[in-house]
Structure 1
């Protein structure tokens, strides 16, 4: 009797899938469309990559940034336009105060036209460029909406980037001085069909607008079973993809609301699928529910460590990205903010050694006295 030939396929799992969920090709997987036993749990969830786009810097560092689209940018533009209207009213009021001081021989239509042009350039060109440069890409409207302007490589913008954006906006976008209906339509179409929501000013300046604040919904994080913590720390979870982990997470957050026998079937199916992807296998005698809980908790712990490293890289490339600005934090007067680099504690002081005891004098001789250095320059007696 010959031994059966070995067959290629996934590693055997310690949790066999239920017979009702096993097809001709083995247990159900997360990659199938419609044939997955947990497809309903994985569908409708927002993965981390669906909302963000990957940007690679010049140092070959991938940053996960979410581009701003038309809706949020339109609201930010409305806020900026209101601020610019206030600035224009202030300039007009100052002009009205200074206008009577101008000699009447100089007041004519050309002077009025010059003042209007100067106010227009100050409000619509120099003010946006100055504000975006000083605030590192955060105008009042963008700051209110949690947006920021950065370069294509992920770095902060410079004065030339802000000036180019404001100049293109003044000429063909907002308010637009050249062929208003046509340039407005072209700018709107550019933002709608751009994969990163960039307008004409962004394309000319090499910039883009991103979200600094990201939406974070409720995500169930199961605690690690203490008896499985040593085993989970040594497992290889590289083949447990995001879709399968999302299905396990949603099942663990809803399994108390499911009815039998569907709950047990889905639990065994998920445990069988995860069991084929982790190495080494789970210890013998472990129930499917603690097994899934341990895998998800360990995966969460490793993802948190990677997130911390990614934030350190983002902070080095984009200082202050996604953090509260210092001028928005209230502090008591006279209290200095804590230093980000605290000084190490001073070493303990070592007491000086006690003075050495004098040598005892020989019998019949006078004790030796310590000699003090002489301060005069007279030669010593011979």
Structure 2
């Protein structure tokens, strides 16, 4: 499935559906990078210590020690990050800690090519400049991309987001009596979806806009309700939504029970 970038916070999928994306912020990304840097440095120090011990025991010559030091640097600062990101599909220890994942600009999974470019450029901008180049580019780009991301066409996407509380409409007390006698017909899917979206986001609207949208939706929904209660437009929408939800839930439960009874009869036969 192809995707098109529409702006800095949105990706348009092949079905023309806007997908909201959240890049990892500059501070969190810097914290994750420090963890990854520390891991590479610790590995380099550990390998170097082993080589120094071998040299002190006379098991390594000076020329061999220099060659192995270069190999240790390549292993710690190039091979390690490439291996980890390829194996975890964009999630290193630091990114796991801050809830991020390296993805392509279009939101797809990275490949070895992307990881290799990021790691190769990272040696220059992260280790050789002590992170200075990465800090500058990360602070100046909208998605906190470092130079390696800009070259490879990647960024760090947030994959750990706080769970939003589920919106559960409630039946207003003024409609308790009406609910026992009301007849609410099935509404068009588009209208039902608009009502549900309005109730979920009504508190974010200004009072004037909230009242206007409620009046418009209530005018469309009144033809599916009998009798129409003498309440405000928003209360009417709440009553319709709750009543339809409860009755559809009851209908599904009854259908499941009926299917289970029929299935039991067939088994006995």
Calculate the TM-score normalised by the size of structure 2: 0.67
Instruction: Mark the CA change 1:187 to 1:77 in structure 2 (over 3 Å): closer, same or farther.
Output: closer
Name the Cα RMSD after superposition: 3.8
Partner residue of 2:77 out of 111, 118, 124: 124
Unaligned runs of 5+ residues in structure 2 are: 1-7, 246-265
Q: Which structure's residues are more often helix, by fraction?
A: 2
Offset from partner CA, 1:107-155 (integer Å, 9 cap, x none): 23x4433332221111111111111001110000101111101112222
Note the 1:284-295 alignment, pairs <5 A: 284-288=228-232, 290-294=235-239
Identify the residue that residue 148 of structure 1 maps to in structure 2.
101
Identify the residue that residue 202 of structure 2 maps to in structure 1.
248
Count of residue pairs brought into register by the alignment: 224
8 Å contact kept, 1:232–1:294: no
Q: Distance in 2 between matches of 1:210 and 1:295?
A: 39
Identify the residue that residue 92 of structure 1 maps to in structure 2.
48
8 Å contact kept, 2:104–2:155: yes
Q: Distance in 1 between matches of 2:241 and 2:204?
A: 11
Instruction: Mark the CA change 1:153 to 1:237 in structure 2 (over 3 Å): closer, same or farther.
Output: same
Offset from partner CA, 1:292-321 (integer Å, 9 cap, x none): 4247769x9xxxxxxxxxxxxxxxxxxxxx
Q: Which runs of 4+ in 1 moved over 6 A?
A: 238-242, 295-298
Instruction: Mark the CA change 1:232 to 1:224 in structure 2 (over 3 Å): closer, same or farther.
Output: farther
Partner residue of 2:151 out of 190, 204, 228: 204
Unaligned runs of 5+ residues in structure 1 are: 1-51, 252-265, 301-347, 350-382
Q: Which has the higher contact order (CA 8 A, sep 6+)?
A: 1
Q: Distance in 2 between matches of 1:169 and 1:229?
A: 66
User: After the TM superposition, which of the residue ranges 210-219 and 66-75 deviates more from structure 2?
Assistant: 210-219
8 Å contact kept, 1:137–1:149: yes
8 Å contact kept, 2:199–2:238: no
Task: Select the structure of larger CA radius of gyration.
Answer: 1
